[in-house]
Structure 1
């Protein structure tokens, strides 16, 4: 895999307190955060762009559904830090931070504009949760013509089978699926 750092962006979805506190599978939240931070370091060192996306949990779009991931309407509001990135995610001053109010990171945000202004054509995707925020963002990116790479061990979901379905049955049709080690090695070769 040949990744051109100047036109590659790493997009890490929702590595924030509310999501990192969840029980995830097949990878723990700590593994996802650590792998995301490793990738961010490699991308930065090679001259690529790093983007952190966070969802504003108190403003999250809530529509009627059979099953909801949202808190019960009678539950107290989440604390202010629920929407903040965890420190171990490694966000740095030169990184882009995007706030969203729904699963996908493109709709209603400046993500596409920020990427295009920097000449980004390839996105490496990771975050929480694989089949919600990551997949929603990836599908929109694919529709907009971005090449996609998925760091399968830098993402996870609320159930292992939900993660595996996206990684095995969706992502290979819209991009390349690789490990954090493989992607870090690709950037170190630059």
Structure 2
């Protein structure tokens, strides 16, 4: 018997504002609501940095620009979970310092404490947090499901290739609606 958790990754103000798809947000919302109805833990993951950016190396091409421009600190509005899927009392909000939900966070500790063996992935961006988390979770022997319409990427072709050709090698890829139906 599997013990799943739903990961809601990088659905935070500063990222959702760049991917304003109502379809994607609706799919994430339906997934969160279904998980709650079925007593499946919902874990929110966000990216954020400490004041002064001690976690960011100048060698990190992606994040060093953030340190230069400012913003994205853990208290910044951009790093807060988007209003469309606010965590309920007792639902963890994990802060990560890299692309993968596991990198520098306490996610694995929470999953092991709850005896979670299956991860259901949602998030922005498909080529970022979803890909990195899927790969690391597969290496950690978690069973994986990816909700294709509850993930989004700036490049629709990259999203398609990942969902159709890459992710199925390590995960079951299905829509949020199909996942909700599978819960019974």
Q: Report the TM-score range of the alignment, normalised by the length of the smaller protein.
A: 0.7 to 0.9
CA deviations on 1:27-78 (whole Å, 9 max, x unpaired) are: x44322221121111111111111110000564645547x747747653535
Rounded Cα–Cα distance in structure 2 between residues aligned with 1:126 and 1:105 = 11
Equivalent in 41, 52, 56 of residue 48 of structure 2: 56
Task: Provide the residue aligned with 1:32 in structure 2.
Answer: 24
CA deviations on 1:64-107 (whole Å, 9 max, x unpaired) are: 47x74774765353581010011102321121210011000112
Rounded Cα–Cα distance in structure 2 between residues aligned with 1:62 and 1:129 = 22
Task: Provide the residue aligned with 1:123 in structure 2.
Answer: 119
Rounded Cα–Cα distance in structure 2 between residues aligned with 1:133 and 1:90 = 19
Task: Provide the residue aligned with 1:20 in structure 2.
Answer: 16
| Superposed CA RMSD | 2.2
Rounded Cα–Cα distance in structure 2 between residues aligned with 1:148 and 1:180 = 14
Rounded Cα–Cα distance in structure 1 between residues aligned with 2:115 and 2:67 = 42
Q: Do structure 1's residue 102 and structure 2's residue 94 form an aligned pair?
A: no
Number of aligned positions between the proteins: 179
Q: TM (normalized to structure 1)?
A: 0.84
Report the alpha carbon displacement of residue 116 of structure 1 after superposing the two structures with TM. Answer: 1.3
Structure 1 stretches of 4+ moved >6 Å: none
Structure 2 unaligned segments of length 5 or more: list them.
none
